[in-house]
Structure formats: C-alpha cells, structure tokens
Amino acid sequence: MISRTKAAYAYIVARTKVMKSRLLKAEDFRKLLNMSFDEIMRFLEETEYKKEIDEMAYKYSGPKLLDYALFSNLAKTHRKIYSVSFGDAKILIGNYLRRCDVWNLINIIRGKNANLPAEMIEETLIPAGEFSLEELRSMLSKEIGEIAKELEGTIYSEALSKIGSAPMSVVEDELWKSYYKAVLSVKTNDFESRVFTHFVKMEIDLRNIKTILRLKAEGDTVEEIIARVIPGGYELTEDEARKLATMSFEEITKALEGFWFWKVTSVQDLSRLEIELDKNWIEAIAKRAGKYPLSVLPVLQYIVLKRVEVDNLRILGWGKYHNIPNEEIEKEMVIL
Amino acid sequence: MAEVQPTRMELIKLRRRIRMAVRGHSLLKMKRDGLIMEFRELLEEAKVAIQKMVENYNKAQQKLLIAMAVDGFPALRSIALSCCRIPPSFTVKKKSIMGVVVPVIKREKVARRAIEKPYGILSTSVRVDEAVTAYEELVDSILEVAEIETTIRKLLEEIERTKRRVNALEYRVIPRMKELERFITFKLEEMDRENIIRLKKLKMKKAKR
C-alpha cells in the first residue's frame, strides 16, 4: 500500500509534470530568437501568458508589458503550486516560496526609504509567499518602524532590527540569511527533510560562490566576503568559503575544481560565469529530481525551470525590442 | 577736441597716456593670444572628455538594458529606489588662468565597490553591479565635462572681453589720442609761428621809428 505521503507527492508531482510539459522547450526559444518583438508577443498570447498580457496591456506596452506580465504569471504559478500541494509537501513548498516574502519586504523597505508612492512600490511585489496581497498592501501604508514591529517574532525580526544601525545592503543580505536559516530548519519526515535540505544547501552553494567571485573580483577583504556568505552550504561550507576568500581570483577558480557546481572551462567574465553556474545547477537538480521522482524535488525543479523560462523570455523581449544581436541575446539566456 | 587746452603740459600728459595705451594694447594682445592658446588646449581636452562621456553613456545604457533584460524591470526599479537618495558629492574650488577665475571640481569618487553599494549582494546579480558601476562612471565623466565646459565658457567670455578692449584701444582710443596729439602739436607750432611774426612786426615798427 502506498503511504499517505507518497500518495501526496504522486499527486503533486503529476500536477507539476503537466505544468512542466507546458514550459517552452529549447527549440521554442531558438524559434523565438528569429522573431521580432511583436511576433514574440503574439506567440506568447497563444500560451498561458495570454491572461497576464491582456490584464497588463491597459497600463503598459513594449517590453515593460512583457516584464510585468511575466512577473504576474510567475506569482500565479507559485500560488498555484502551493494551492495544489498538501501535507508535508505544502510545508516544504510554502517555506521555499517564502523567498517571495523576502523579495517583497526588501522592495517595500527600499520604496519607503525613497518616499515613493505605494502604487509604485506595489508594482514591484510578487505576492506568492506567506504574505497575502492584502497584508503586503497594509505594510505599504505603514512606516518602516511599524512594519518591523509588526514582524517581531518572525524569522525576519532579527534582520529588521538592524534597520537604522546598519547599511541597507547589510539588512537586505541579513533578510536572505534569515530566510535560508528558516528554510534549512524546516522538519517534516526524515527522508523529505533530507532531500529538501540538500536542494536548499545546493542553492546556498550557488549563491555563495557567486558572491565570493563577485566580491573577490572587486578586491574585497576576507572578512567583508565572509560577512556576506550564507551559512549552511552543501559543499561550500563556511570553512571552505573562508579558505576560498583568502585566495586570489585565479587560485579560487583552480580550487573550485571538484565542486559539484564547477564545470567551467574558462572564466571570461562574471556574468557569463553566473549563467554557466546556473546551467550546472539546473542539470544537478534535474539529476536529483530524476533520482527521487516521488519527492518535493520535481516540484522545486519546476519552480526553478519556470523562473528560468520567465528570465529567458524577458531577455528575449528586451533584447529584441532594443535590437540586440541574436548571438548576444542567446549568450545571456539559460537554454538547456 | 575743442575742450582740450593746446598747451605743452597737455601735450606731455597726452604723450604719456599714449605710451601707456600702446603698452596696454600690446599687453592685452598678448593676454588675448595666451587665452586663445589656453582655449585651444582646453578644446582638445573637452573633445576627449566629451567623447569619453558619450562612450560611457552608451556603455551605461547597454549595461542597464542587459541588467533590465536579465533581472527584470521591477527588480531594477526596486534597486534604483535604494540608489536614488545618494547624490554625487563634489567640492568646487577655484583657480586662475591669466586672471580668469575658473572652477576646479574636486570629485569624490562616485564609483563604489559592490559591498559599499546601497543594495544587498544576495538579492542582485553581477549585471546590476555592472550597470550601476557604468552609471557611476558616467556621473564621473559628466562632472569632468562640466568642469571643462565651465572653464571654456569663462575663457570665451574673457577672450571676448579682451578682444573688445584690444579693438577699442587699437581702433578708437589710440587713434583719437594720436589725432589729439597732432592737433595740439599743430596748435603749438601755429602759436610759435604767430609769436615769431608778432615779434618780427614789432621789430620792423621799432626800426621805422
């Protein structure tokens, strides 16, 4: 007899499989690359993005319309995944999607600091996390201090308590660290927690290596780099990160050989390197999702792939609208 | 001319003024030439600075476009919210080029390291850094162009003013004074001749008696 947890995963994975089959394939992107911006929009109007494009068309046009429609669709997809899941899977997915809350909090604080109207800040929000749109709207009407007070006792309170005493960049990074700390501490059954934690740790590795290389390229000190590293990586632990931070950029690229995310042959520039790392990460996720088909991994893989699709479409839209050559656009895209 | 007293004293004074005007004229001419030379040098500098500014602008636009394409317009707008409260800081000092007071803009480095930027490292990509850095460099080059442009404008005003003075001395003041000198000289000679004739007539009258 199939256990209740397995049955839950079988259902959710089946739902995400259907959603995954609707994702654009590599050949679709190659086809889109040869289209003009208007043709791309027409193509997308025949896909699941139609509703969002129509909804936003009264307010925006050109690549901004595409951008907001993509953001809106991404939020809708996240909400849908969360709503179709149940049991342990819902807990894990819900926690993973709290990243949208971090994003929204950061945007609200930035907007409040710049004294921007609430409508302008609201346009940058993705209401797909724990906070509903109504909660986010109520935050928009409050002062930063009031928001911090309201969130006392949550995972964000420690980071938010630094507002005013630390630079905003530190507060933002602390919010992300709090998110990862909370996500890593989520406990369901043993196997599920292990698989989920492994996935999150891999993501932490990826974010950490990007941070280390980015700061190292600018010549930042070891302490400055370590302060921005998220604790709890899979292979890139804090000790490893410290070791790498003491090396020169060239030494780091050599020392990274053997790490799961490092299949890079040459380091030309950091943005290309980030794309390479993302590709390696997606491949690693796919491998693990294939290994554990009845787990939360296929769902998380879909969330990542959806994000990549949205990113690719955005790059295509902006690139085509501004007549960037196809080769340049393709270089910026993560096509697998 | 009628107001001038044709006396020797006036002639001496006038000659002294002419000498001074001629010396002033040649000095002003030298100043004008010096300013023009300085202006030409600055023009070359301005060309380079403007060229650099245009290049930086195009680069910044391209980087912004790529950042917008990769990270999305809402994300970029959100990051811009955290950056827009930081105006570029600079101090304006003064220096003198041939008596022309021009500004020297002491730019405090606008470009900052990623860690000093007002947004988190973990919520942004390297493309955002590249776009922000490109715009910080653009602000630097705009300030450089502003300094050179203001200097050029001040120099041009001074060249124009000096040119007007040189022309006024060359074509109006000095010729008028020289004409006046000629007039006084002529008048004095005339008076001398009249005196001689008067004396001769007196002498003849005396001889007849």
- 0.90 surpassed by pTM: no
Closest to B113 (Cβ–Cβ): which among A107, A220, A315?
A: A220
Domains: count for chain B? 1
| Closest-CA distance of chain A to residue B79, Å | 8
**Rounded Cα–Cα distance for residues B4 and A316 (Å):** 87
**Structural domain range at position A254:** 8-59+188-332
pLDDT, tens digit only, all 336 positions of chain A: 445 567 778 888 999 999 999 999 999 999 999 999 999 999 999 999 999 999 989 988 999 899 889 988 998 999 999 998 888 888 899 999 999 999 999 989 888 887 878 887 887 788 888 888 899 999 999 998 899 999 998 999 999 998 888 888 889 999 999 999 999 988 877 788 889 999 999 999 999 999 999 888 888 888 888 989 999 889 888 889 999 989 988 888 888 888 888 887 676 788 888 888 999 999 999 999 999 988 899 999 999 999 999 999 999 999 999 988 899 898 888 887
For residue A44, being part of any structural domain is answered with yes
Each residue of A101-137: pLDDT tens digit? 999 999 898 888 878 788 878 877 888 888 888 999 9
For residue B209, being part of any structural domain is answered with no
The interface predicted TM-score of the complex, written ipTM, equals: 0.80
Closest to B126 (Cβ–Cβ): which among A63, A102, A274?
A: A274
For residue B105, being part of any structural domain is answered with yes
For residue B20, being part of any structural domain is answered with yes
For residue A2, being part of any structural domain is answered with no
Nearest to A79 by CA among A61, A93, A59: A93
Q: Do B69 and A315 touch (CB under 8 A)?
A: yes
Cα nearest neighbour of A180 on chain B: B122
Cα nearest neighbour of A125 on chain B: B74
Given a cut of 70, is residue B86 above it in pLDDT? Answer: no
Domains: count for chain A? 1
For residue A302, being part of any structural domain is answered with yes
For residue A46, being part of any structural domain is answered with yes
For residue B96, being part of any structural domain is answered with yes
Our measurement of the distance from residue B203's CA atom to the centroid of its chain's CA atoms, rounded to an integer in Å, reads 68
For residue B205, being part of any structural domain is answered with no
The CATH number linked to B138 is 1.10.287.3240
Only one residue has tokens 């409260």, namely: B85
For residue B206, being part of any structural domain is answered with no
For residue A266, being part of any structural domain is answered with yes
For residue B90, being part of any structural domain is answered with yes
For residue A173, being part of any structural domain is answered with no
Q: Alpha-carbon dihedral of residues B164, B168, B170, B174, nearest 10 degrees?
A: -150
Q: Which residues pair with B93 in a beta bridge?
A: B104
Listing DSSP states for B95-157 in one string gives: EEETTEEEEEEEEPP----GGGSSS-STTS-HHHHHHHHHHHHHHHHHHHHHHHHHHHHHHHH
Task: Please give the structure tokens belonging to residue B131.
Answer: 């776009």
**Structural domain range at position B49:** 8-196
For residue B190, being part of any structural domain is answered with yes
For residue A283, being part of any structural domain is answered with yes
Only one residue has tokens 């000790």, namely: A239
